[in-house]
Structure 1
Amino acid sequence: MTKTSILLSRRLNRNNIMAISLGIVYLWFGLLKFYPHLSPAEDIAKDTISILFLETISSNWSLTLLAFWETCIGLLLIINYYQQLALFFALAHISLTFTPFFVFPELTFNDLPFSLTLLGQYIVKNIIIISVIISLLVRTYKSSQNQTITTNSTY
């Protein structure tokens, strides 16, 4: 094996691939929101944020903040910088994506409680993203614990 392939194989383990993949999704979805009418989630995001913040933030400003939030999460995950912080922000974000089930059930369900609309299905798939985030958080926590043990044992 060449030195480059060894370094690449160390860098691209399954956890890093999950983090990079998740980062690409966040970056892509975040960048779309910077441009009006490109994101299919634009209207539901604006309406949900409006309700969550009691209509104190304008819809255009809220979408820009969401775009910035998602883009930052994506970049941090891709470059593996402050990954644990990015994962906590991602977990908070993805948890809030379930809000339309409670505030806009007419948009997420055809017939309560099992028949989902396309939007409802779009939201439910976020369970997979939550699983990836939790898996990565567990790994980063265990890694930080191992570093603490190693650091303490050197004294």
Structure 2
Amino acid sequence: MIENTISKLATWLSRHSIDVLRVSLGLVFVAFGTLKFFPGVSPAEALSVATLEKLSLGLLSGYAAQFVIAAMEVFIGLTLVTGRLLKTGLVVMTGALAGFFAPYVLFFTDLFPGAPTLEAQYIFKDIVLAAAAMVIGARALGARLTPGPSLVFGKPATGPHPAYDR
């Protein structure tokens, strides 16, 4: 009975978990992007604007830079939530993620005057967003998650599983 339940759960998760990840990541991008449309609302506003100013060699600054970032994040989020233009959204997200981590290079001493600042910690969480994007990108390019042998109480139900038996 337990093995049957676990098998059904594994099948359900293999069918739906990446879509749930895609939509939830999209909602995060829409939420954070929407905040940037309103000056003074996003806690990352100053850092994101300063980063885009540097990366664009001063071509974009102030509210124009903030608007571009906001529009880009909302676009990425909407492609993830709806699944439409997903590959385009993932390409844009690749550039955005590079921009997310750029402050570590551009403003390292400001972000780490000793202990990491709140902004440095804020950026650090983007590692999880990048990992989620990799899983979603793999699915968009044709990879599939399929259920393998089920685990019962942390032990493989049938034979060893290389990811869990280390």
1:17 to 8, 16, 20: 20
Whether the 8 Å CA contact 1:33–1:39 is kept in 2: the answer is yes
Task: Give the Å deviation of 1:83.
Answer: 1.2
Q: Which amino acid aligns with 1:88?
A: V
Q: Which amino acid aligns with 1:131?
A: A
The structure 1 segments of at least 4 consecutive aligned residues displaced by more than 3 Å after TM superposition are none
Whether the 8 Å CA contact 2:52–2:61 is kept in 1: the answer is no
> Alignment length, in residue pairs?
132
What SS does structure 1 have at the residue aligned with 2:41?
coil
Whether the 8 Å CA contact 1:23–1:73 is kept in 2: the answer is yes
What SS does structure 1 have at the residue aligned with 2:33?
helix
- Distance in 2 (alpha carbons) for counterparts of 1:37 and 1:127: 25
Aligned to 1:116: 116
Whether the 8 Å CA contact 1:107–1:119 is kept in 2: the answer is no
- Distance in 2 (alpha carbons) for counterparts of 1:14 and 1:101: 31
**Alignment RMSD:** 1.9
Q: How does 1:2-151 map to 2 (within 5 A)?
A: 13-111=16-114, 115-142=115-142
Task: Give the Å deviation of 1:121.
Answer: 1.1
Whether the 8 Å CA contact 2:51–2:99 is kept in 1: the answer is no
List runs of 5+ in structure 1 lacking aligned partners.
Answer: 1-8, 145-155
Structure number with higher helix proportion: 1
Task: Give the Å deviation of 1:16.
Answer: 0.8
List runs of 5+ in structure 2 lacking aligned partners.
Answer: 1-11, 145-166
Q: Which amino acid aligns with 2:80?
A: L
TM-score with structure 1 setting the length:
0.79
Relative contact order, higher structure (CA 8 A, sep 6+): 2
Q: In percent, how many aligned pairs have the same letter? A: 28
